[in-house]
Amino acid sequence: MDDSDQVQSSTVVYHVLVSDLPHQRLTGVMAKHAGVRIIFAGRYDVVTGAEGTRHEVAAHEIGISLVDPIIESL
């Protein structure tokens, strides 16, 4: 794909719901390594309400990207 094939689109914000222990671990990693890429998987849902559309993921798996250059400092 070259630059002429790329399409501009708006940013989509995902609200990722994380349980207590993974949340604590994720917060610890982010505090030490700001900017590390987070990968998550879970149940995805689009919720439409008075405030508009909301994209939610109930995360059951969370990890860090191993292709991110910051991983060398971990």
Tally the domains of the chain: 1
- Whether the predicted model's global pTM rises above the 0.85 cut: no
Per the domain annotation, does 5 fall within a domain?
no
Question: Is the predicted pLDDT of residue 42 greater than 90, yes or no?
Answer: yes
Per the domain annotation, does 20 fall within a domain?
yes
Per the domain annotation, does 1 fall within a domain?
no
Span 18-34, pLDDT tens digits:
989 988 998 888 888 87
CA distance readout (Å), 5 to 10, 12, 24, 40, 74: 17, 20, 41, 28, 36
Question: Is the predicted pLDDT of residue 1 greater than 80, yes or no?
Answer: no
Range of the domain at 48: 12-73
